[in-house]
Amino acid sequence: MQTGPAGRAAGWSLELAKHDYFSLYGRIFYLPSSVVQRIIREVIPLDKEQQSRAEPIHETERVELAEELAEKPQKESAQIITELSPEAAGEVLDHMEPEESSLLLAQLPQSQAAQILAEMSPDMAADLMGSLPAATRSALLGEMERPEAHTLRRLIAYPPDSAGGIMSPEVVALPEQLTAQQAIGRLRQLADEVETIYYAYVVDQAGRLEGVLSMRELIIQPPQRPIRQIMDRQVLRVRDDTDKEEVAHLFQRYGFLALPVVDAQDRLLGIVTVDDVIDVIREEETEDMQRLVGVLPEERALSPWYASLRRRLPWLSINLLTAFAAAAVVGVFQSTIAKFTALAVLMPIAAGQGGNAGSQTVTVVVRGMALGEVEPGSGWQVLRKEILLGTLNGLLIGGIVAAITYLWQGSALLGLVVALAMFFNLIMAGVAGALIPLGLRFFGADPALAATILLTTVTDICGFFFLLGLGTLLLG
């Protein structure tokens, strides 16, 4: 018997041939696709690997399989997905990035893709659908049952950076007239259908949010006590149009596991859970890190080279112009450099130290803005602190550089020039490092938007100007 890759390939060829035969048989006799698939399952026995895929899979296996599918070619991954039940396939796709799962789903027949979408978490299915072309999205929604399609249409309509765009509509909403015993019975019925049962929310007849119940409070109450007497009416909630970064700040500040989402009329729409917020925080941190150096958030390590070129080249062009501006400053002092060549050696030290100090400030300030620590109106506090740090760093670092320069060149005056240049440039680095992100936010731009490119321009120009200008003044 033939084994190994060749044997497995031959086995697959035989199974695919049988599959094609029965599919053709169904088309000739106008049999529904569901009947054809049942015939295929009866006639073609599943091997052990296929049987294991057809059975329910554990949470850790779903994650591992999702990672495996992301690394395989799309056609091979699609073949594996077709061997899973729609429920298992939906659970696996829940653990994939929307961009990856949408490409995978596009390889499947629309009817099968719609079945899998219906089994996915609504919020993950909406993210996936958002990555598909509009025509494909409409076709898939047309294949789905009306309730699931309606839910997805509602979620897709929200902006992706809003609370509505990351919420799950699978939330426990209990009518306020229920007793504690009735509420517990309702929770048992809904346990498998909702995102989480850490909290149960109480609503009035119009669906407006009235209060919240914790499982602990509900369990210890007398069975016949109305839940309106048990619930906590002080419920922190977010509107569906709230920015997702603001939602993340609320989770970080209060340590919640979930937050309810309401509309303008205070009607309960869904819930945002802590795992959704972890994804938001990770995305925002990645965006801030990339924007600091002029790389757009859409770019990934394995993005096509032409896409990366198109995204990076504009910022590199801007950086080139700023480099010419710094070179122009140097050009003004050519005669001084020709006279005192040691200044040319010291130029990158003065500019580089300013760039490093400014980068520290930019990173701290942008991070503080992202976490809500640097609020509008607190800019003067940040600026005063950075001026003080720049002064102290300038005195210490300038003194060290002056001593080294004196030991190297034997010129106290040259050491003084370098010390003063370092002192002034480190103060400017602190000021620029604070003002650039604060200014960008004031004008409504992302504070991380290429802040380091702008900062490097300031510290290079100032570093060269202070060093060469003081050298001309004191040494010339």
Q: In this structure, are 316 and 185 located in the same domain? A: no
Q: Considering the entire predicted model, what is its pTM?
A: 0.61
Domain-embedded: residue 330 = yes
Q: The domain spanning residue 312 has which CATH number? A: 1.10.357.20
Query: What pLDDT score was predicted for residue 291?
Result: 63
Which phi and psi (to 5°) does residue 414 adopt? -65, -40
Q: Are residues 318 and 249 in the same domain?
A: no
Residue where one domain finishes, among candidates 125, 157, 189? 157
The answer to whether residue 196 scores a pLDDT higher than 50 is yes
Same domain for 465 and 320, yes or no, is yes
* Domain assignment of residue 122, yes or no: yes
121 pLDDT band (50/70/90 cuts)?
confident
- CA dihedral (273, 279, 283, 289) in degrees, to 10, reads 110
Q: Is residue 22 part of a domain?
A: no
Q: pLDDT (tens digit, 9 = 90+) per residue, 54-80?
A: 444 566 777 888 888 888 888 888 888
Does residue 152 belong to any structural domain of this protein? yes
Q: Which residues constitute the domain of residue 406?
A: 305-475
Of residues 113 and 5, more confidently modeled: 113
**Do 356 and 449 have their domain in common?**
yes
Across 8-17, 179-188, 276-285, 451-460, least confident range:
8-17
User: In sequence order, what DSSP letters do the residues of 384-433 get, joined into one string?
Assistant: HHHHHHHHHHHHHHHHHHHHHHHHHH--HHHHHHHHHHHHHHHHHHHHHH
Q: Are residues 262 and 352 in the same domain?
A: no
Residues 359 and 257 in one domain: no
Number of domains forming the structure of the chain: 3
pLDDT at 287: 67
Best CA proximity match to 161, nearest among 287, 330, 34, 6: 287
> What sections of 44-174 are H helices per DSSP?
48-54, 59-71, 74-83, 86-93, 98-105, 110-119, 122-130, 134-143, 146-156, 163-166
437 contacts: CB under 8 Å, gap ≥ 6: 362, 365, 366, 369, 447, 448, 451
With tokens 């719609």, the residue in question is: 114
Mean pLDDT of the chain: 80
- Quote the pLDDT of residue 99: 81
CATH of the domain at 259: 3.10.580.10
Q: Tell me how far apart the alpha carbons of residues 40 and 19 are, in angstroms, rounded to a whole number.
A: 6
Residue range 253-271, pLDDT digits in tens:
888 888 999 999 999 999 9
Q: Work out the burial of residue 54: count CB atoms within 10 Å of its CB; fewer than 13 is exposed, 13-18 middle, 19 or more buried.
A: middle
Using the predicted structure, report yes or no on whether residue 290 has a pLDDT greater than 70: no
How far apart CA 66 and CA 108 sit, in angstroms, is 16
Domain identity same for 313 and 434: yes
